Amino acid sequence: MPADLRPTSTPDAPPSRVIVFDTTLRDGEQSPGSTMTGPEKLQVARALDQLGVDVIEAGFPVSSPHELESVQEVARVVESATVAALARALPADVERAAEALADARRPRIHTFLATSDLHLERKLGIDRDQALHRIAQSVEAARRHVDDVEFSAEDATRTDPSFLVQAVRTAVEAGATTINLPDTVGYAHPHDVARMFDAVRDGVPDVDRVVLSFHGHDDLGLATANSLAALEHGARQVECTLNGIGERAGNAALEEVVMALRVLPRFRERFVTHVRTERLCPASQLLARITGVRPQPNKAIVGANAFAHEAGIHQHGMLADRRTYEIMTPAAVGARDTTLVLGKHSGRHALVRRYEELGFTLTPEETNRAYELFVMLADRKKVIHDEDLLAIYYGGTMERVPRTFRLEHLDVRCGRSPSWARVRVARGDDETAEAEGTGDGPIDATFAALAELAPWEVRLDDFAIRAAGGGSDAVGEAHLQLRIEGRPFTGRSASTDIVDAAARAYLHALDKASHADRLEARAFERLQLWGV
Ligand code: KIV
Ligand code: ZN
């Protein structure tokens, strides 16, 4: 192990408690597309509190009257966590932060000033002595309001180490209780972070009186690694955001740091957090729903593919023993169960297992025949759905599904709750039916009306709509999964009208169910299954 990253505590010592400081509502909310309204911030704040983070940074009150109000509201509803408010090292900022936190059960004022020469000279136009003066003044002012004061030396990783030590000393002497050393522009390597913490711990006499903290940005994809290096070198607080949202490339992702501490033997014995990890995915999904920004599918821990396996060798291993390809269980982070995605890389084992889950036990000959057809289909389609397996079983495919249901008319009324929809659908050539439905929004109402017309029992399992291209006239692509008489069928459609796209996707799934019924009937008529 490189000398720089040697652990600072002995392996036998009791685990150290790591304070998880969440800044989703402040640094995260600053990122493009992640802006939240006051009520949305409250929803996220409640979820963070239930997740078990120690500190929730609620915002930057001086930035606007609306922000002040929203921090005040968060301060009122959060029950367990400390609520922090950000303030530049300026008297007016500190006053405003104190005002915002007046009703918090556990308030913290977080004041910051840049310490790198680049920021001091070019951004603030002040010298080092003036900076030290402002640090002392703002920390003392904050301490007059609250006992819990954090000072951040913005751009710490690009600060001359001897001046950083001076700045930290000044903040500690002025009464700061937490000292945060940010990698503001995501420019540090874990070795640099380790050296920075070592230098501060060696150079500041009363450093044990304060909690050291790290705040990493992900411009080079090193934010999580840097946070872990900081912990190994004396930090006991990490600052992070859900899904890693934040300025530019984002902040260290809370779920990554917490799970690295939980999963890796190197950290497991030495550090604990109070995060209820099984709430990680639900919290991530709540944030994604509110902001409309979904984490990329391959995002660690919370991405849609974080527990999906397609390669045949991996699927075989997973079926034999999940530990072969999973280092944590989906349940540990509140994710949906592992999915073995069936596609052209999948093998026989996964295919047989999926048929079993669908209620079909295949004989060896049936397996051979099904696998042959499966491979042919997988060459043409990215993902093989359960409905495809059903069709294969009955000797057909779900490609070129005949149209059974046609949308003739759709009328919706929304804007007032509940929304209302009327649909007219033609079935085959000579049957037309009409139905009405109400629901939470126009799509929900349309689905309720369509469910009335469906000749089967239908449940909506999954629904997503995505704009293809920018602009308000973008095409909306609707994807959904229906459970029709207990069997899953997907549907998709696209239209510039998203309600229309959703309705057509619904009918597409009904068409597939109708096709499956016909295939099944034909198979029974022939009284032969599986190439007999
Ligand atoms: O990135 C940063 O330096 C910050 C500070 C305000 C803590 O967000
Ligand atoms: Zn930041």
Same structural domain, 350 and 498: no
Q: What is the pLDDT of residue 6?
A: 43
Q: Whose CA is nearest to atom 7 of ligand 1?
A: 152
- Whether residue 269 sits in one domain with residue 133: yes
Distance 215 CA to ligand 2 centre (A): 7
Domain-located, residue 301: no
Residue 2 lies inside a defined structural domain of this protein: no
Alpha-carbon span 503 to 463, nearest angstrom: 11
CA of 216 to the centre of ligand 2 (A): 7
CATH number of residue 449's parent domain? 3.30.160.270
Q: Which of 278, 272, 269, 275 is nearest to 302 (CA)?
A: 278
Last residue of a domain, one of 248, 263, 291: 291
399 within domain boundaries: no
pLDDT at 4: 39
The answer to whether 181 and 146 have CB atoms below 8 angstroms apart is no
- Mutation probe of ligand 1 site: the residue of 184, 193, 240 with most atoms within 8 A of C-beta: 184
Statement to judge: residues 277 and 370 lie in one domain = no
Residues 143 and 17 in one domain: yes
Among all bound ligands, the one having the nearest atom to the CA of 240 is: 2
- For residues 337 and 283, membership in a common domain is answered with no
Residues 6+ apart with CB under 8 A from 161: 195, 196, 199, 203
Choose the residue to mutate in 26, 27, 213, 245 for probing ligand 1, maximizing ligand atoms within 8 Å of C-beta. Answer: 27
Secondary structure of 378-401 in HEC code, one letter for each residue: HCCCCCCCHHHHHHHHCCCCCCCC
Counting from 1 in the atom list of ligand 1, the atom nearest the Cα of 217 is 1
- Can you tell me which atom of ligand 1 is nearest the CA of 23? 8
Residues 146 and 285 in one domain: yes
Residue 354 and residue 245 in one domain: no
CATH of residue 214's domain is 3.20.20.70
Q: Please, are residues 54 and 38 in contact by the beta-carbon 8 Å criterion?
A: no
Structural domain of residue 25, as residue ranges? Answer: 13-291
Q: Are residues 248 and 349 in the same domain?
A: no
Going from the Cα of 150 to the center of ligand 1, the distance in angstroms, rounded, reads 12
Q: Is 41 contained in some domain?
A: yes
User: Ligand 1, from 30, 108, 152: best to mutate by most atoms within 8 Å of Cβ?
Assistant: 152
Cα–chain center distance at 297: 10
The residue whose CA is least distant from atom 1 of ligand 1 is: 184
**Which residue is associated with the tokens 């198979």?**
523
Gap from CA of 154 to ligand 1 centroid (Å): 6
Q: How far is the CA of 60 from the centre of ligand 1 (A)?
A: 12
Q: How far is the CA of 182 from the centre of ligand 2 (A)?
A: 7
Distance 105 CA to ligand 2 centre (A): 25
Tokens of 142: 């904050």
Note the ligand closest to the C-alpha atom of 93: 1
Taking only the tens of pLDDT, the chain with its 532 residues reads 333 344 455 556 789 999 999 999 999 998 888 889 999 999 999 999 999 999 999 999 999 999 999 999 999 999 999 999 999 999 999 999 999 999 999 999 999 999 999 999 999 999 999 999 999 999 999 999 999 999 999 999 999 999 999 999 999 999 999 999 999 999 999 999 999 999 999 999 999 999 999 999 999 999 999 999 999 999 999 999 999 999 999 999 999 999 999 999 999 999 999 999 999 999 999 999 899 888 999 999 999 999 999 888 898 999 899 999 999 999 999 998 888 889 888 989 999 999 998 888 999 999 999 999 999 999 988 889 999 999 999 888 888 899 999 999 999 998 888 999 999 999 988 899 999 999 999 999 999 999 999 999 999 998 988 887 767 778 889 999 999 999 999 999 999 899 999 999 999 999 999 999 999 888 877 654 444 3
CA separation for the pair 301, 385 (Å, rounded): 24
pTM given for the model: 0.85
Report the pLDDT value the prediction gives residue 10, as an integer from 0 to 100: 56
Report the pocket of ligand 1 as residue ranges, CB < 6 Å. Answer: 27, 112, 152, 154, 180, 182, 184, 215, 217
DSSP state of 27: I
Ligand nearest to the CA of 113: 1
Task: Compute the distance from residue 355 Cα to the ligand 1 centre, in Å.
Answer: 52
Angle between helix axes 190-203 and 223-232 (nearest 10 degrees) is: 30
511 and 374 in a single domain? The answer is no
Domain boundary among 239, 258, 291: 291
- Find the ligand nearest to 60 CA: 1
Give the total number of structural domains in the chain: 3
Q: Please indicate, yes or no, if residue 340 is contained in any of the structural domains.
A: yes
Q: Exposure of 461 by Cβ count < 10 A (0-12 exposed, 13-18 middle, 19+ buried)?
A: exposed
Answer yes or no: do 367 and 486 share one domain: no
Q: How far is the CA of 28 from the centre of ligand 2 (A)?
A: 8
Of all protein residues, the one whose alpha carbon is nearest to atom 2 of ligand 1 is 184
Residue 349 to residue 382: CA distance in whole angstroms: 19
Are residues 352 and 286 part of one domain? no
From 320, 354, 384, give the residue that closes a domain. 384
* Structural domain includes residue 298: no
- 413 in a structural domain: yes
Q: What angle do CA 259, 268, 4 make, to 5 degrees?
A: 95
Instruction: Output the pLDDT for position 524.
Output: 73
Taking CA atoms only, the protein residue closest to ligand 1 atom 5 is: 154
Is 430 within a domain? yes
* Closest protein CA for atom 8 of ligand 1: 27
Asked if residue 367 and residue 496 are part of one domain, the reply reads no
Task: Report which residue type is found at 318.
Answer: M
155 CA closest ligand 1 atom index: 3
